Amino acid sequence: MSRTLTLPRGLAILLCLAPLAAAVQAQDAPGPYAFENGYPTAETVQRVYDDVDLNRALQTYRFFYPNVAMMHLWKSNLALGQVPNKVFTILEGTPKKRVFTANSDTPYAGAMLDLSAGPVVVELPVGPIMSVVNDLNQRWVADLGLPGPDKGQGGKYLFLPPGYQGEVPAGYFTAQSTTNRLLLMLRALPKDGQQAAIALMKSVKIHPLDNAAAWPAPQWLDQAGKASDISTVPMESTLQYWRELHELIDSEPAFAEYQNYYGELAALGIAKGKPFNPDARMQRILTEAAQRGNAQMRVQSLADRRADRLAWPDRQWEWAVLRPENGKFEVDGRVDLEAREKWFYQAMIASPAMFRRAPGAGSLYWLGSRDNHGAFLDGSKTYKLSVPQPVPAKLFWSVTVYDSETRSQIENPQNHAALRSMIELQSVAKEGVTELYFGPTAPAGHEKQWIKTLSGKGWFTYFRIYGPEAAAFDGRWKPYDFEEVK
């Protein structure tokens, strides 16, 4: 027999209100912010604004990192002697050239384009050129050459400035930028040797649309083998980061898709048309945000937590790029900010042809930073990497070693940080398994298939396939993990 307990009406009401009272009491309980009669104390006002400003600075640091990296690269190229639309550089991605995950697989050429006076034309010859253009927001503008619409058959590309309203003539592959300043990265496959590839790149013509006939032929500076640091590393954790971000925003048209982030910056005192003049408090906050934001991006990039990072479930290899759909990290009506931050912390330049995961892609990159047990790669240890042959590459493949701190090629006594199928590995068997070695000393008999690493230095690799075939994507082929050699 059950018995129903009947409470007095007043007690029942009090019990019903008890949870609400507890919630109100919890809101008034001591915590990081203190209030009196609903108003913040002086200490709370200071703490809230410090926290809000730091949060804004952390968010905008990570979001605008690719933009600042590109702005810094532009300024570094000017310092090295480039002149927009007129004087360009030939270079090689050797360890002497500090730039994020550059490689030495092919010779490079860099050209700065300035559209502030009007559209600019780039004329490509027929030949194995792989080229891409990004603007100063480090947004993809166009692929040219083999991965572009000309497919290596040559053609004229017309680059239009932001908001261009003029007539667009026929006979051009046309692309529009979000900034007036662009960077063109040229690469030529050295099928007939390095010098032939360099000569092919030098045959590219660049001139304004309006006065092509009177425009001088391009000049080319030879920077191959010369040391320089054109990465953001020296300033990425300092107040200088924010100065260069302000300089970019102040000198280029606003990009509508960034307006919310411009609002965050404006609240920090960084706005177009206004001087960058932070007081001592804001300098402290911005510097702290640069240091913490950089550390956060390092963790996201080199210790990724996402399940979709793995290229294969039984390997430690990761996709260097998490978003293969396009060159802008856009998917399902949003921007994948994690993927964007991971890529741009360790690399420069975005392109659909670099990111695509299907046959016909221009190239394919895998990131290797851990051994077969999941431990980070250590420069004081020796590792073996077994590569099944044949590698599914229509063109060539390579493994390049990078310093985990600088994200540039390791600077070792060999003065090279790559093992390439066209050069060091051109004589390896095209069947069976090729063994590559990485460590302080070369295992006996494997000196030509070895990269020297440095004690006290962490490192990671990019495994690159150029002209990847279907087996590179569907699991029929995959490299083994790095295995420590005792």
CATH number at residue 440: 2.60.120.600
- Please tell me the predicted confidence (pLDDT) of residue 26: 36
Position 269 in a domain: no
Give yes or no: residues 93 and 197 share one domain: yes
CA distance 325 to 336: 11
3-state DSSP helix/strand/coil % of the chain, to nearest 5: 30, 25, 45
- Please tell me the predicted confidence (pLDDT) of residue 107: 82
Position 89 in a domain: yes
Contact, 402 vs 417, CB < 8 A? yes
Domain boundary among 229, 264, 299: 229
Query: Is residue 10 predicted with pLDDT exceeding 60?
Result: no
Domain boundary among 207, 229, 251: 229
Domain boundary among 195, 229, 263: 229
Give yes or no: residues 464 and 324 share one domain: yes
Average pLDDT over residues 132-155: 95
Query: Is residue 29 predicted with pLDDT exceeding 70?
Result: no
**Count of alpha carbons within 13 Å of 279, Cβ hemisphere only?**
1
Instruction: Please report, rounded to a whole number, the percentage of residues in the chain having pLDDT higher than 90.
Output: 76
Give yes or no: residues 224 and 354 share one domain: no
CA distance 191 to 400: 20
Position 92 in a domain: yes
Query: Is residue 122 predicted with pLDDT exceeding 80?
Result: yes
- Please tell me the predicted confidence (pLDDT) of residue 4: 42
Position 291 in a domain: no
Split into its structural domains, the chain has a count of: 2
Average pLDDT over residues 286-300: 98
Q: How confident is the model at residue 30 (pLDDT cuts 50, 70, 90)?
A: low
- Please tell me the predicted confidence (pLDDT) of residue 97: 80
Does the global pTM surpass 0.85?
yes
Position 396 in a domain: yes
Give yes or no: residues 357 and 467 share one domain: yes
Average pLDDT over residues 256-264: 97
Position 40 in a domain: no
Q: Which bin fits 92, alpha (ψ -120 to 50), beta or left (φ > 0)?
A: beta
Digit-coded pLDDT (tens) for 330-379: 999 999 999 999 999 999 999 998 898 888 788 899 999 999 999 999 99
CA distance 38 to 320: 50
Average pLDDT over residues 284-313: 97
Give yes or no: residues 217 and 345 share one domain: no
- Please tell me the predicted confidence (pLDDT) of residue 438: 98
Pairing of strands 450-452, 432-439: parallel
Mean pLDDT estimate for the chain: 91
Position 194 in a domain: yes
- Please tell me the predicted confidence (pLDDT) of residue 192: 80
Give yes or no: residues 321 and 463 share one domain: yes
Q: How confident is the model at residue 99 (pLDDT cuts 50, 70, 90)?
A: confident
Digit-coded pLDDT (tens) for 209-255: 987 778 988 899 887 777 888 889 999 999 999 999 999 999 999 99
Cα torsion at 267, 269, 272, 274 (round to 10°)? Answer: 140
- Please tell me the predicted confidence (pLDDT) of residue 479: 98
Contact, 184 vs 113, CB < 8 A? yes
Domain that holds residue 107: 81-229
Digit-coded pLDDT (tens) for 49-93: 999 999 999 999 999 999 999 999 999 999 989 999 999 988 877
Give yes or no: residues 348 and 459 share one domain: yes
DSSP state of 476: S
Taking Cα atoms as reference points, which of 422, 430, 417 lies closest to residue 379? 417
- Please tell me the predicted confidence (pLDDT) of residue 283: 98
Give yes or no: residues 198 and 330 share one domain: no
Query: Is residue 27 predicted with pLDDT exceeding 70?
Result: no
Structure-token match 């925003």, residue found: 249
Give yes or no: residues 223 and 313 share one domain: no
Give yes or no: residues 217 and 311 share one domain: no
Position 264 in a domain: no
Give yes or no: residues 347 and 210 share one domain: no
- Please tell me the predicted confidence (pLDDT) of residue 11: 42
Give yes or no: residues 191 and 324 share one domain: no
What is the CATH number for 109?
2.60.40.1610
- Please tell me the predicted confidence (pLDDT) of residue 211: 78
Contact, 156 vs 205, CB < 8 A? no
CA 212 to chain centre: 34
Digit-coded pLDDT (tens) for 409-466: 999 999 899 999 988 999 999 999 999 999 999 999 999 999 999 999 999 999 999 9
Q: Which two three-digit tokens encode residue 76?
A: 């570094």
Structure-token match 């030509």, residue found: 448
